[in-house]
Amino acid sequence: MEETKIKGFKITFNNSTLTIENSYQLSDLNKMKSILKESLSKTIEFKTKRSLDSLMNEWISKNILYKLHLFRKHTTSISFKNKTKKRYAVLYFLLSIFSKIKYGYKKIYYSYKTKKKVKQYKKYLIQHSNNIKKAYKELIHNPNIYLIIDKEILDKLYNRILIHDKSKYSPEEFDAYRKNFYPISSREKEENVESFKLAWEHHWKNNPHHWEYRQNKQYFDIHNDDEVVDVLENIIDWMAMGYQFKNKAYEYYEQNKNKIILCDRERAFLEHVLYNILKDKEENNGRKRK
């Protein structure tokens, strides 16, 4: 059994039982929050993704110093003993009303900001999807592409384009991606780092157009339509990103090729499409304009 004392209140915990007792004073509220957070983080297993700060703020706004309903969700047993004098009870009651108003408005504000960021992220996903279709059209309108692949492969590629990046709408990815690229605050992005790592891993493991999905392949079969489609969708993805960030697919590849892990045959095919088909056409068009 451990015990923590500060002026105004005492916290004791024994295994998973937390007890908060003795009188409280308004001046101790922030310190009480700090002690509680420290105690909970060390001794009680939280099964929520919310930060301790947000949990404390919600508790204060709803149960100022009297009840711990939120904590009961995360502990085996909890008790709260209040021995405050009547004059403090009146002050706490008034403070609780103020807190509910303050944190109520704060909750509405952050809810509005979140909805706004979600809308922006969805708009980006739609834009990227449109850029993917634009890149596909650019590829199929290049006559040189038909020297290495046939129309059947391009039809399969089109079917893949229609479902490109659909996993980003999944529960495993959407929220973490939104918080990483469209956060409501720098703090939200910092707290989302681990979740985004998991979301990114889920994304490339379920989308073969990312080279990370194919990095452990020892052999690339040019006669296997699915493997060819994987590489072409990979290139189209880089082309689509290039429309937004003002660069070319081969320029992105040149900047990152040292960390892109592919077997020799697949890399040779990818570079052939990038340099001998896409880049050559651009250079030829440039010479014609001159």
d(CA 92, CA 87): 9
pLDDT per residue as tens digits for the range 192-217: 999 999 999 999 999 999 999 999 99
Does pLDDT of 54 surpass 50?
yes
Instruction: Tell me what pLDDT residue 176 has.
Output: 96
Partner residues linked to 5 by β-bridges: 10
**DSSP H/E element including 4:** strand 2-6
Grade residue 280 by pLDDT with cuts at 50, 70 and 90: confident
More confident residue, 70 or 134: 134
Q: Supply the pLDDT for residue 62.
A: 47
Point out which residues pair with 11 in neighbouring strands.
4, 20
Q: Are strands 17-21 and 9-14 parallel, antiparallel or unpaired?
A: antiparallel
Which percentage of the chain shows pLDDT scores above 90? 53
pLDDT tens digit string along 1-24? Answer: 555 554 455 666 565 555 655 544
d(CA 75, CA 95): 26
CA distance 224 to 99: 64
Q: Tell me, what's the pLDDT at 112?
A: 82
As a whole number of angstroms, the distance between CA 76 and CA 70 comes to: 12
Q: Which of 71-80, 177-186, 205-214, 275-284 has the lowest mean pLDDT?
A: 71-80
pTM for the predicted model, two decimal places: 0.64
Q: Bigger pLDDT: 100 or 146?
A: 146
- pLDDT one-digit tens code per residue, 56-108: 555 555 444 444 444 444 444 444 444 445 555 566 566 666 666 666 666 66
Tokens of 252: 């992105």
The count of other CB atoms within 10 Å of the CB of residue 70 is 15
Residue 255 binned pLDDT confidence (cut-offs 50, 70, 90): very high
Please report, for the chain, the start and end positions of each structural domain, with discontinuous segments joined by +: 2-84, 117-289
| Range 223-230, long-range pairs (CB < 8 A, 24+ positions) | 225/152, 225/153, 225/156, 226/156, 227/266, 228/149, 228/153, 228/269, 229/153, 229/156, 229/157, 229/160
Distance CA 155, CA 168 (A): 24
The mean per-residue pLDDT over the stretch 49-57 comes to: 54
Name the percent of the chain lying above pLDDT 70.
59
* pLDDT for position 73: 43
Looking at residue 253, its pLDDT comes to 96
